[in-house]
Amino acid sequence: MTERSQRPQRQPSDRPVIVLGGGNTAFAIAAKLALEGHQVVLWEDESQAATITPIRDLRQVRLAGTGGEGAATLALVTTDPAEALAAGDVLLASVPSYAHAPFAERLLPHLRPNHLLTLLPGNLGSLYFARLLRERGLNPGAGGPIIAESDTAPYVCRKTAPDTATIWGVVPAMGIGVYPASQTTDALDLLSRYFPRAQPCPHALAAGLGAMNPIVHPPGVLMNAGRIEYARGEFYFYEEGVTPGVVRVIESLDAERRTLAATFGLTLLPVAEAFHAAGFGPKGDLWAAINGSRMLTQLRAPGSLQTRWLSEDVPYGLRTWAELGEQAGVPMPVARALVTLGDQVMGTDSWRTGRSLADLGIAGLSRTALESYLS
């Protein structure tokens, strides 16, 4: 990774920032950045155009909560990828991991060497996009776009109306992994305009393994499956559902994640410390961090078991980590058990349809080869 003191090769510009997607976090990002004075273009795929229909005519997204208040006017709202990507250099994609494939299909023909594509968060999706770019003869960072991903979303937020996003908390220290890692300085120089306290990770794999959603969501949802189906989400997920017994499973899963990371020379914070460092809650054990969190205790449970807290975090999180563990010789029985249970609940086969190491272009790589590839 290059040092932060080096002169960046890519200079920030006053061109619009391009927000990709029409979900909770995309609306929140678009509104918050626009209220902060940035020009913002919002793009959503035509197949999901209904998500942006309520704001398309006036180009306004209302923001509420701790992230700011007001009606933000966007520079452009469009379903045309060519129009959107021609408007600016920095692309912020906050979409579920299972949307990465259709997004790649729409976006790759329009990606240019000047682009920085950042997945918020990525679940190692940066390596997926990098593989696709390489197959098209575009080497990221070497004549091709830079690809980055965060370890968490920038905000705890929800759409609270078709044209409104509410932010309950801003993550102060979002980690950013960049592919290739040699372009980290350039990427952070660009992203710091929008996320001033973002911190560099050693590389994209570090950001992917630093994700907390796959650690917390699957155990919490699966161990509250009956209540979720019965109450249809009418309870507070973290405050009521993440009990001491659930916490023990989360911490066991987290121990596997950190052991896996250690085989690649990475030292990751335990989940309780990571929650505190990210600003989610007070210092202490995970129980204390969650129950003392103004952000997390306001979140209700999913309304059904067909939730991205399983459909994303199992096949695009735990399943990928488990295969990486197998390749690295690290047993991950808790992760595998949760994948098995999640598949039974959802009626899916994550081992067949989830994100594989082959999808990421890193299957069969030794630690040395992988570190070289990431750099």
DSSP secondary structure letter of residue 103:
H
What residues contact residue 135 under an 8 Å CB cut-off, 6+ apart? none
Determine the pLDDT at residue 280: 79
Determine the pLDDT at residue 298: 81
CA 161 vs CA 105, 216, 279, 348: distances in Å? 29, 27, 26, 31
If 0-12 CB within 10 Å is exposed, 13-18 middle and 19+ buried, where does residue 327 land? middle
pLDDT at 4 over 90: no
Contact assessment for residue 155 and residue 167, using Cβ atoms and an 8 Å cutoff: yes
Contact assessment for residue 256 and residue 332, using Cβ atoms and an 8 Å cutoff: yes
Strand-pair category, 90-93 with 17-20: parallel
Phi-psi region of 199 (alpha: psi -120 to 50; beta: other; left: phi over 0): beta
For the chain, list the domains and their CATH numbers: 17-209 (3.40.50.720), 213-374 (1.10.1040.10)
Average pLDDT over residues 123-149: 93
Average pLDDT over residues 179-203: 96
Determine the pLDDT at residue 176: 97
Residue recorded with tokens 């959603």 = 213
CA 114 vs CA 105, 167, 190, 268: distances in Å? 19, 31, 11, 32
The neighbour count for residue 151, using CB atoms within 10 Å, is 27
DSSP secondary structure letter of residue 297:
G
Determine the pLDDT at residue 2: 38
Tell me the pLDDT tens digit for each residue of 106-117: 999 999 999 999
Tell me the pLDDT tens digit for each residue of 294-351: 778 888 899 999 999 999 999 999 999 999 999 999 999 999 999 999 999 999 999 9
Determine the pLDDT at residue 8: 35
| pTM for the structure as a whole | 0.91
Determine the pLDDT at residue 289: 85
Angle, helix 244-262 to helix 213-222, in steps of 10 degrees: 150
Can you read off the two tokens belonging to residue 62?
């209302």
Determine the pLDDT at residue 173: 84
